[in-house]
Structure 1
Amino acid sequence: MIPSPTTLDRSDPLLPAIPSGKASPSPAVPSPSLPPTADVVVVGAGLAGLACARHLTAAGVEVVVVDSSDGVGGRVRSDLVDGFRVDRGFQLINPAYPELHNVLDVAALRLQPFDAGVAVHRDGRVSAVRDPRRHAAGVVEALRFPLGGVREKAAVARWLLRVTGPGDLKERDSGWSDALDDAEVHGGLRWSVIEPFLAGVLGEVDGTTSRRYVDLVVRSLLRGTPGLPAAGVQAVPEAIAAQLRPGSVVLGTEVRHLGLAPRSIVAETTAGGVNAQAVVVATDVGAAAHLLPKLQEPQVHPLTSYWYVTPSSPAPASREKLIHLDGERGGPVVNTAVVSAVAPSYVPAGDRRGLVSALLLGRDASAGTDARVRAQLARVYGADTAGWELIAVHDVPHALPALTAPFDGPRPVDLGDGLFVAGDHRENPSQQGALVAGRRAADAVLTRLGMGRRRAG
């Protein structure tokens, strides 16, 4: 039996307690009661909503954040299952995102970094390649890497050189597949490395995401080394929530309707109504479209993650801190990682077993998928996966908003009548995008309230 992904062990010292409005196996902390009035109501306690509330609070605005879940974070959540830490979906924190540093102390997350590179399985062998700027062996690995000839490797180098440049917004935007075609990147490197890697980052393998946005993604990966916080990715939203006024986050409460009054907006919730001068909807795109009929709901890319406990690390020490790709693309998994090798805090103290994640595109948590995932991981790691224990499966239906070409910049956050919207679907599908969208929504609210833009530090 797979333990429920909502089973949380709040006795863990690395994961601060979260007020809960729902029953849980461990003692629940009551959520604060809903106030009858507030300057601003923020609907949704994900990254965008919390960032918005933080900026408004710093400007002296009375804010209440309402969320139907049992904890803050939205899609950025972590659970403990039998002492193993599992994030809901395979998520990394990139310290190169500038907005992270504007809302929290990144050093306090105690990031545990992956090695900058990938390990690729193809034709019965696994080959590793790392960023030569950060790993001494990277140059030799690149020269020996068996995939892609000299011409394709040179084309990839030119493509990366262009990506790291300033860019040209006047250039015609198209999908990233077209961008690789234009760069004359064809062959084994593209098929077995670049396309599977970007699929895991973007949530799609069709190559339809805007090349302008993909350039930003690749640039940020080249500038930073993503990692996992010691307490799981949920440490990020909790660090932001900790900066809000005590009692300003109300959990386990659903906002069902927004009503316009002559001089206020009434947020009707399962715990009563709240009168406010402005409401910021910072939920996932589906819930946002329900509350805001004027909002055009963008397409989304769903993801599914599988988490296994293994007898030991299935990868040798030389490459166990790398993202692993199936260069043959012979199954549903787009990437996999030995999380326990990168983040020892994800494993119970003294436990020598391994923790392996596997990421799939789409919603694929059917009964037969586990067998297909195991078969593919057995090839990728060269290990017997029959005895691996499946401890969690996360179906994330609104994982990433689609950002197809042409990408002309951020979408509006002010919908008029005191209604605002925040979320990565207003900026770009990333943690950076969610945080920036939250700040933009806060600035727009402050303008409506006649307080101008008072940037929080």
Structure 2
Amino acid sequence: MKKQDFKIHIIGAGVSGLIAATVLEQNGFFPVIIEATDRVGGRVKTDTVDRYQLDHGFQVLLTAYPAAQNYLDFEALDLQKFLPGAAIFKNGKQLAIGDPLRDFSLLFPTLLSGVGTLSDKIKILKLNSKLKTKTLSDIFSDKEQSTLSYLKQLGFSSEIIGDFFSPFFSGIFLENKLETSSRMFEFVYKMFGEGYAALPKSGIEEIPKQLANNLKNTTFKFNTKVTSVKDAEITLEDNTKLESHYSIVATDASSLISNLKNQSTEWKSCDTLYFETENRVIKKPLIGLVAEPGTLINNIFYHTSLETNIIPNKELLSVTVVENQNLKGEDLTERVKLELKEHCGIDSCKFIKQYSIPMALPRLDNLQYDMLPSETRLTTNIFLAGDTQLNGSLNAAMISGERAALSVVEIVSNTISSNR
């Protein structure tokens, strides 16, 4: 039996599934990707509405991600970079804080910002220096504690934690108590320090589109929902049964595999609302943070402060809400508008669209950076991929997809060799 004769199915056309297909193709296989929706991307998608590019939630690519550097063509993505810092809204004022060593324009705003003490700024420089020399394997083998206790242990003041670390990392971790593992904090902080946050000029969906366009021997089955996966058989929603020598599940597997029914992943949710505004209150491409307790708004960003593929009519503003306080629909929109006016001085904005994302990030313990290919193997013929296997990041999605595919490659290669 030749490599191309093996029936290898990947369930889910998100980033992890696309990487799995890439690795299988590189090793001479012809996989089939089964996807429930009408296109690739999973949680990484972009819509065009009223001449604006709307990502499904505020997402960025960190250019220092090792797996992203391996699998993506950054130049072809035409990445638009954020400045390394943030605009902080507090007590009716806007204060800028950033890394002046990487962008000189942030030197004086940072020195004069009044966010944190001089001691805090020295500690930030020390943290930068420490994480530059700390390897990713060391980060993920360190003892875990909450990010909040980690920051307190380093001696940061409650002011800098409340004004910067909490709003900034709450938007990344999608929880506002900084309970997320210190491993994830160190990893993300190191990635921010070694590269840039960026967006493709055509929106975040360009990442999975690029991966899909590079595939030459992969068959896609879109609008096709899988209801169960067994060792040699995949059942679709219409009760069609597909023979499968090997299956890689690159989506939430708990509802598909019988022995995982009681092991469903917990998910963090968020809401992202898009508005059209006449002007930008943040002139540079900086994330805006609202450092006021009890607010709905976690962060804001003007997507039109970066170049986009579509020439916009006015300014596009995204607002991320980590904890919606049980507000929905129009009630949530109106409350956000009030907060924009009160805290950010934005008093004229037209609502465009809201994305409620119930499965935005997995809630995980014992976070890992990498895994052995063999660790992705659930049963004789079923393998698991996706960021749920390691940590909630695009980098983890890529690594887990690669490892699952390599496990299949190894098993099939051994099978072929033993049959010769």
TM-score by length of 1: 0.83
**Aligned equivalent of 1:105:** 73
- The answer to whether structure 1 residue 211 and structure 2 residue 182 are counterparts is yes
Write the distance in 1 (CA, Å) between the matches of 2:282 and 2:230: 59
Task: Give the structure 2 partner of residue 322 of structure 1.
Answer: 286
| Residue correspondence of structure 1 range 79-118 to structure 2 within 5 A | 79-118=47-86
Q: Secondary structure at the match of 1:398?
A: strand
The correspondence for 2:377, drawn from 407, 411, 414, is: 414
Give the 3 Å change call, closer, same or farther, for CA 407–101 of structure 1 in structure 2.
Answer: closer
| 2: CA distance, partners of 1:198 / 1:445 | 36
- Is residue 393 from structure 1 mapped to residue 351 from structure 2 by the alignment? no
Aligned to 1:424: 387
AA paired with 1:390? F
Q: Does residue 126 of structure 2 align to residue 142 of structure 1?
A: no
- Structure 2 distance, partners of 1:137, 1:230, is 23
**Distance in 2 between the 1:43 and 1:176 partners?**
34
Matches within 5 A, 1:299-314: 299-310=266-277, 312-314=278-280
Structure 2 distance, partners of 1:78, 1:378, is 27
- Secondary structure of the residue aligned to 1:289 is coil
Contact 1:192 1:329 in 2 (8 A): no
Q: 1:213 to 1:383 in 2, by over 3 A?
A: closer
Partner of 2:92: 124
Q: CA contact under 8 A between 2:282 and 2:288: conserved in structure 1?
A: no
Give, as a single letter, the amino acid of the residue that structure 2 aligns with 1:337: F
Alignment correspondent of 1:78: 46
Q: Check 1:344–1:53 CA distance in 2 against 1; reply closer, same or farther (3 A cut).
A: closer
SS at match of 1:355: strand
Q: Is the 8 Å Cα contact of residues 314 and 338 (structure 1) preserved in structure 2?
A: yes
Distance 1:372 1:213 in 2: 31
Distance 1:98 1:247, change over 3 A: closer
Give 1:402's aligned residue.
363
Read off the aligned partner of 2:280 and give its amino acid letter. P
| 1:325–1:380 Cα contact (<8 Å) kept | no
SS of 2:133's partner is coil
Change (3 A) 1:137 1:247: closer
**Residues 172 and 112 of structure 1, relative CA distance in 2, 3 Å threshold:** same
SS at match of 1:303: strand
Q: Which residue of 2 aligns with 1:11?
A: none
Give the helix-richer structure, 1 or 2. Answer: 2
Equivalent of 1:179, from 142, 150, 154? 150
Q: Which of the numbers 126, 132, 152 marks the counterpart of 1:158?
A: 126
* Contact map agreement 2:31 2:217 (CA 8 A) in 1: no
Gaps of 5+ in 1: 1-36, 453-457
- SS of corresponding position for 2:244: strand
CA distance in 2, matches of 1:196, 1:268: 44
Matched residues, number:
400
Contact 2:202/2:308, CA 8 A, preserved across alignment:
no
- Unaligned 5+ segments in structure 2 are 416-420
Instruction: Return the offset for 1:154.
Output: 2.7
Deviation at 1:241, TM superposition (A): 0.8
Query: What is the root-mean-square deviation of aligned Cα atoms in Å?
Result: 2.0
> Contact (CA 8 Å) 2:128, 2:193: kept in 1 or not?
no
1:221 aligns with 2:192: yes
Q: Is the 8 A contact 1:38 1:64 kept in 2?
A: no
1:291 is aligned to 256
Q: CA deviation at 1:113?
A: 1.1
Instruction: State whether structure 2 residue 213 is matched by structure 1 residue 242.
Output: yes
**Helix, strand or coil for the counterpart of 2:259?**
coil
8 Å Cα contact 2:369-2:396 kept in structure 1: no
Distance 2:328 2:341 in 1: 19
Counterpart of 2:317?
A: 356
Deviations 1:207-230 (A, max 9, x none): 221111210110001111111111
User: Which residue of 2 is the match for residue 9 of structure 1?
Assistant: none
* Equivalence for 1:29: none
AA at the equivalent of 1:328: E
Q: Distance in 2 between matches of 1:408 and 1:59?
A: 26
3-state SS of paired residue (2:94): strand
Query: Is the counterpart of residue 268 in structure 1 residue 231 in structure 2?
Result: no
Give the CA deviation at 1:273.
Answer: 2.3
* Aligned-pair CA distance for 1:171: 4.1
Correspondence for 1:336: 300
Deviation, structure 1 residue 410: 4.5
Q: For 1:365 and 1:109, how far apart are their aligned partners in 2?
A: 35
Q: Is 1:374 the counterpart of 2:320 in the alignment?
A: no
Q: CA shift at 1:71, angstroms?
A: 0.8
After superposition, give the CA deviation of every residue in 1:118-174 in whole Å (9 maximum; x if it has no partner).
Answer: 000111110112211221133322221212222333333333333333164664321
What is the rounded CA distance, in whole Å, between the counterparts of 2:393 and 2:296 in structure 1?
23
Amino acid at match of 1:338: Y
Equivalence for 1:32: none
Distance verdict in 2 for CA 1:78–1:171, change over 3 Å = closer
User: Alpha carbons of 1:171 and 1:98: their partners in 2 closer, same or farther (altered >3 Å)?
Assistant: closer
> Secondary structure of the equivalent of 1:132?
coil
Contact residue 40 and residue 209 of structure 2 kept, 8 A: yes
Cα gap change, 1:451 to 1:157, in 2 (>3 Å): same
Helix, strand or coil: the match of 1:345? coil
With normalisation by structure 2, the TM-score equals 0.90
Q: Residues of 1 paired with 2:211 and 2:315: CA distance?
A: 31
One-letter code of the match for 2:86? V
Check 1:72–1:414 CA distance in 2 against 1; reply closer, same or farther (3 A cut): same
Identity of aligned residues (%): 26
Moved more, 356-365 or 68-77: 356-365
1:307 corresponds to which letter in structure 2? Answer: Y
Q: For 1:156 and 1:50, locate their aligned partners in 2 and report how far apart those are by CA, in whole Å.
A: 37
Note the alpha carbon deviations across 1:72-95, whole angstroms, 9 max, x for none: 000000001122110000011122
Partner residue in 2 for 1:33 = none
User: Which residue in the other structure is 1:277 paired with?
Assistant: 245
Q: Which moved more, 1:204-213 or 1:244-253?
A: 244-253
Find the residue that maps to 1:415 and give its secondary structure: coil
